[in-house]
Amino acid sequence: MLANYLIGLREGLEAALVVTILVAYLVRTDRRDLLPRIWAGVGVAVLVSLAFGAALTFGPRGLTFEAQETIGGGLSLVAVGFVTWMIFWMARTARSLSGELRGRVDRAAEGGRWSLVLVAVLAVGREGLETALFLWAATQAGTRDAVGTVAPTWQPLLGAALGLATAVALGVALYRGAIRIDLSRFFTGTGAFLIVVAAGVLAYGVHDLQEAGVLPGLDALAFNVSDTIAPTSWVGALLKGVLNFSPATTWLEAAAWLLYAVPVMTLFLLGVRRRGAAATPAPAPVAAR
């Protein structure tokens, strides 16, 4: 539930920041008459994201077990790719996001009637589609029971909903100037956590493809600590829900986790360190005596 809460919070805050910047810019430039177009675009983006989430949830039903596992595994890999791109994109462009969006608003306001609606749809819809896909993959990965079948529960969805609600509240507070958030630290912390979550989703996707027969090695276990950490225990449920940890992990799952988590985390932290060094002003030269 915690992992889904943080996914909803991070993705929701990104969307809330986009909407806040768009609305604040139109208000400050005395173009309030264009605000309905922004809200229309936001509404369309939300509806498209909900429809996409519903299609992911109900679409595979009625298919064979192998087909469901193949689709689930493939979508998990796609979700990991999207969230990885999102983490690095936001870390790189967070400082210039406001100026980029203002430029798009100016160009759209000079264009056709639906141009500004399209800007809002694209800006918010991208976050919504990524959120729907990654939440679906993370929820499926976090609700596998002791015998290996997927048993969706209301808890992951509740966690995501609470995260989105928190993000909306923070967006309103930011717009009203009630609070200030160090966005660089926020996206660094949540980005590092989501890399770990994405690694678990990747391993889960590999497991799905193994069960579908697409990948080999389903019976080759790297470790099995089910006797120590029972999947039905609160510790097992916590590790599964937060980190997508499986007590019985195949060699291919373990390899996928390590080959993703180690290099991606290294590149992410090096990028954070490099941007931090670039943002730190150089010390003034000391005058010779």
| Side chain identity at residue 5, one-letter code | Y
pLDDT of residue 125: 81
The encoded tokens of residue 75 equal 């979508």
Q: How far apart are CA 77 and CA 214, in angstroms?
A: 14
Instruction: List, for the chain, all residue ranges whose pLDDT scores fall below the cut of 50.
Output: 145-152, 282, 284-289
Q: Is 206 helix (H, G, I), strand (E, B) or coil?
A: helix
pLDDT of residue 111: 65
pLDDT of residue 168: 86
The encoded tokens of residue 210 equal 């193994």
Task: Assess contact for 208 and 73: CB atoms under 8 A.
Answer: yes
pLDDT of residue 281: 55
pLDDT of residue 147: 43
